[in-house]
Amino acid sequence: MTASQRLLDGEDRVAGGCPAILARGRRSTVLTAEHARSMAARRPRTRLVELPAGHAVHASAPGGFASAVREFLDTL
């Protein structure tokens, strides 16, 4: 899993210009706020949303996650 994560953190993840949303749980012990901000800053048209949740935002804050995705989609 660690090796896979290292590969995912490469430039391929940040390539492209399509709008994207990056949802981060504030209680995540996997993705730090600093790393999330860096990821969002490196990819054009990326909106960072932080929710009161753990790492699996969609599971620990499904309502907030759904609202964030809906709001993001409404901007497209």
* CB distance 54 to 28 below 8 Å: yes
* CB distance 49 to 21 below 8 Å: yes
* Residue 44 in tokens: 């054009």
What's the length of the chain?
76
- CATH top-level class for 2-74? alpha beta
Q: Can you give the residue ranges of every domain in the chain?
A: 2-74
* CB distance 58 to 49 below 8 Å: no
Q: Per-residue pLDDT tens for 34-49?
A: 999 999 998 889 999 9
Decide: pTM greater than 0.75: yes
Given this model, what pLDDT does residue 52 score?
A: 97
